[in-house]
Copies of this chain bind each other. A is one copy, B any other.
Amino acid sequence: MTKITFIGAGSLEFTSELMRDILTFPLLEDATISLMDIHAGRLEWAKKGVEKLIAAGKRPATVEATLDRAEALKNADVVLTTILAGNTEVWRHDIEIPKKYGVDINVGDTRGPSGIFRFLRTINPMMEIVEDMEKYCPKAVLLNYTNPMAMLCAALQRQTFIPVTGLCHSVQGTAAMLAKWIGAPFKEIDYLCAGINHQAWYLDYRWNGEDAYPLIYKAVTERPEIYNAEPVRNEMYLALGKYVTESSGHNSEYNPWFRKRPDLIEKYCTHGTNWNPGEYAYILKQYQHNEATWQEQVKERLEQPLTEQDLQRGNEYAAYIINALKGGEMFKFNGNVRNTQLITNLPEGACVEVPVVVDRAGFHPIHVGALPAECALLTQLSSGIEEMAITASLAGDPTMVYRAIAHDPLTAAVLSLAEIRQMTNELFAQHKDHLPQFKHHAV
């Protein structure tokens, strides 16, 4: 029997979707689901949602909810983390302080000044979770969904013996989008995608074994509705020759080309027709908006009866992985794992996103080789900055945080070194209570 623990179970939508998937695997239908959150109200809702799915699916699974992390972790086989370290009143400053200096952030959960400070705060509770796992379920694996993915996973992977794999939907999501663009049934598509989370590249994209990039090129250059769906990523593709994972708005934060001038934001980050074209503070505004209304929404959703459709397995990787770990069908996915010469031109020990095969014997990352230069230059810079931020956190050294931010391509395209120092100091001053690992909080 399998015990699956959700830390941050109050991420209601995620918990429900994953639960739905789990129940579709015969090997897992009698699982014990343990839900944990620090927010009692959300936890209660999460439990109700899971119970409703179990009831609808008529499976023998059981669910328990607790505010006690140790209890939730005890003897778990798999642990999933979807935590948020601090509410919007805390993390709004990750977005708003850079904006004051002219650094215009869209999401701010991955890298750049916002992502780095989110990492510096979030690594503390994440490390506590992992330490508890070493005590209460030392044979379990951790599947992390918490952002910033690459920095958190890399920092954990170098401090624990617990296998940590980071998961994200951007790889399969983008692959499906491209398939739709060229009119290919997704099951006829094969791809090799590698890089780091949110900055991974389809090194190979094939339809029935044939290179499909010429079709993608045709779609992007000849069909305006496709160009307009993803202006940022399509521009990147036209320049660099390989398609990148993660949406246009989000990607516009990770490089120097799109958000440094208001006219470029207007041109590239405003009129995209897919979700999140690139508005300032897009996710922050959503969160702020939802804060007032989420209880109503959840209540309403829970009251609706579940249809057959609602019980169908989705595309999220986690349930497939758990099934494979328990002896079910071997599964290949893109996971965020420690770089052991898997991508030879990214730093050894960084967290890379590569194909991984999982079966009963565990996770087996696949060797990729060198990223081609046109993908490597930006990815090396991103990964190098992340490594510096991790070292900064482990060493408790604020100067290294400053240096990491000074190299962020968007920040560096907007500010001078002196201005970056000032911004870094303001971020430290704002967040200092959440950053106990630093010996001092000024550069």
Chain A interface residues toward B at CB < 8 A: 139, 190-192, 204, 206, 209, 235-236, 238-241, 255-258, 260, 264, 267-268, 329-330, 332, 340-342, 344-345, 347, 355, 357, 359-361, 364-367, 369, 373-374, 376-378, 380-381, 384-385, 387-388, 391, 399-400, 402-403, 406-407, 409, 412-418, 420-421
Q: Interface centre among A377, A414, A415, by most B CB within 10 Å?
A: A377
List the B side residues contacting A385 at CB < 8 Å: 377
**Which B residue's beta carbon lies closest to that of A359?**
B332
Once bound together, how far apart are the Cα atoms of A192 and B360, in whole Å?
Answer: 12
Q: Closest Cβ of chain B: how far from A320's Cβ, in Å?
A: 12
- Pick from B191, B361, B384: contact of A190, CB under 8 Å: B361
Once bound together, how far apart are the Cα atoms of A358 and B214, in whole Å?
Answer: 26
Q: Closest Cβ of chain B: how far from A75's Cβ, in Å?
A: 14
A342 near B364 with CB under 8 A, answer no
A417 near B367 with CB under 8 A, answer no
B236 near A417 with CB under 8 A, answer yes
Once bound together, how far apart are the Cα atoms of A391 and B192, in whole Å?
Answer: 24
List the B side residues contacting A361 at CB < 8 Å: 190-192, 204, 206
List the B side residues contacting A257 at CB < 8 Å: 406, 412, 415-417
**Which B residue's beta carbon lies closest to that of A360?**
B190
Q: Interface centre among A361, A388, A406, A407, by most B CB within 10 Å?
A: A407
Once bound together, how far apart are the Cα atoms of A418 and B267, in whole Å?
Answer: 12
A413 near B256 with CB under 8 A, answer yes
List the B side residues contacting A329 at CB < 8 Å: 329
A391 near B373 with CB under 8 A, answer yes
B413 near A413 with CB under 8 A, answer yes
Q: Closest Cβ of chain B: how far from A372's Cβ, in Å?
A: 10
List the B side residues contacting A332 at CB < 8 Å: 330, 357, 359, 364
List the B side residues contacting A256 at CB < 8 Å: 256, 409, 412-413
A239 near B380 with CB under 8 A, answer no
List the B side residues contacting A413 at CB < 8 Å: 256, 260, 412-414
Q: Closest Cβ of chain B: how far from A397's Cβ, in Å?
A: 11
**Which B residue's beta carbon lies closest to that of A337?**
B367
B366 near A239 with CB under 8 A, answer no
16 extra A-B contacts, CB within 8 A, seeds A268-B416, A345-B347: A239-B402, A239-B406, A239-B421, A240-B406, A255-B412, A256-B412, A256-B413, A332-B357, A332-B359, A340-B369, A357-B366, A373-B387, A373-B388, A377-B388, A409-B412, A413-B414
A403 near B416 with CB under 8 A, answer no
Closest 6 CB pairs of A and B: A413-B413, A341-B341, A190-B361, A256-B412, A364-B366, A239-B417
**Which B residue's beta carbon lies closest to that of A187?**
B327
Q: Interface centre among A206, A241, A384, by most B CB within 10 Å?
A: A384
B376 near A384 with CB under 8 A, answer yes
List the B side residues contacting A369 at CB < 8 Å: 340
List the B side residues contacting A380 at CB < 8 Å: 380-381, 384
List the B side residues contacting A345 at CB < 8 Å: 347
Q: Closest Cβ of chain B: how far from A103's Cβ, in Å?
A: 13
Once bound together, how far apart are the Cα atoms of A418 and B206, in whole Å?
Answer: 28
List the B side residues contacting A417 at CB < 8 Å: 235-236, 238-239, 257
A403-B240 in contact given A341-B344, A366-B366, A381-B377 (Cβ < 8 Å):
yes
List the B side residues contacting A418 at CB < 8 Å: 235
**Which B residue's beta carbon lies closest to that of A240?**
B403
Once bound together, how far apart are the Cα atoms of A258 and B380, in whole Å?
Answer: 23
